Amino acid sequence: MRRFYLLLIILALIIITPLSSALPDGLERVAGDLGFLNREREIINAVFSGYTIPWFSGPISSIISAVIGALAVYLLILIMFREKKG
């Protein structure tokens, strides 16, 4: 049953991710409104910067990024809430 839910989530991400908004999120919007958006500097080179993967282009980049993020959260939840046997 877990695999079914995981596949359902991945399918939903594949369908919904290309429809996501290109508009800035809340923090980015406030930074732009207050005039300090362009003062940002990169501290670390993030792999999923802008919710994309640099090795791919177009909507497939966002889809792969969303699926990897969902799988990471799924695995983290499995690890945190696994039942101890024995």
Q: Is residue 49 part of a domain?
A: no
In a domain, 10, yes or no: yes
Q: What DSSP line would sit under the chain, residue for residue?
A: -HHHHHHHHHHHHHHHGGGS--S--HHHHHHHHHT-GGG---SS--TTGGGS-TTS-THHHHHHHHHHHHHHHHHHHHHHHPPPP-
- Structurally, the chain folds into a number of domains equal to 1
- pLDDT tens digits for 1-49? 778 888 888 888 888 888 777 777 788 888 888 988 888 777 777 667 7
Does residue 42 lie in a domain region? no
Within a domain: residue 41? Answer: no
Domain carrying residue 85:
1-17+54-86
Position 78 in a domain: yes
pTM for the predicted model, two decimal places: 0.65
**Which two structure tokens, joined as six digits, stand for 21?**
């908004």
pLDDT band at residue 85 using 50, 70 and 90 as cut-offs: low
